[in-house]
Amino acid sequence: MLKDKDLRTMIMAAALVTLIASICGYALYGIAAFILLTALGSLITGDFVYITKKRYEDISALSSYLEKVLAGGEAPNILDQEEGELSLLKTNIYKATSTLRHQKELLSKDKVALSNAIADISHQLKTPLTSMIVMNDLLMTEDDKHKRTEFLTTQSHQLDRMNWLIQTLLKLSKIDAGTITMKPEVARADELITEVMKPFEIQLELKNISYHHDNKKMLIKCDRNWTIEALQNIVKNCIEHIDEGGSLEISANETNIYSEILIKDNGCGIAEDELPHIFERFYKGSNAGKDSVGIGLALSKTIITSQHGDILVESRQGEGTRFKVRFYKTIL
In terms of DSSP bridges, do strands 210-213 and 320-328 run parallel, antiparallel, or are they unpaired? unpaired
Q: Is the pLDDT of residue 331 over 60?
A: no
Cβ neighbours of residue 71 under 8 Å, at least 6 residues apart?
A: none
Q: Quick one: pLDDT band at residue 83, thresholds 50, 70, 90? A: low
Question: Within 13 Å of residue 4, how many CA atoms lie on the same side as its CB?
Answer: 9
How far, in Å, CA of 158 to CA of 114, rounded? 25
How far, in Å, CA of 15 to CA of 11, rounded? 6
Highest mean pLDDT of the ranges 84-98, 124-138, 249-263: 249-263
Q: Quick one: pLDDT band at residue 327, thresholds 50, 70, 90? A: very high
Q: What is the model's pTM?
A: 0.61
The per-residue pLDDT for range 210-262, each reduced to its tens digit, is 999 887 788 899 999 999 999 999 999 899 888 889 999 999 998 889 999 99
Q: Is the pLDDT of residue 312 over 90?
A: yes
Of residues 168 and 10, which shows the higher confidence score? 168
Q: Quick one: pLDDT band at residue 332, thresholds 50, 70, 90? A: very low
Predicted local distance difference test score (pLDDT) of residue 264: 93
If you average pLDDT over every residue of the chain, what do you get? 80
Residue % of the chain over a pLDDT of 70: 86
The per-residue pLDDT for range 46-63, each reduced to its tens digit, is 777 777 777 777 777 777
How far, in Å, CA of 47 to CA of 65, rounded? 27
Region 87-105 average pLDDT: 75
Predicted local distance difference test score (pLDDT) of residue 1: 45
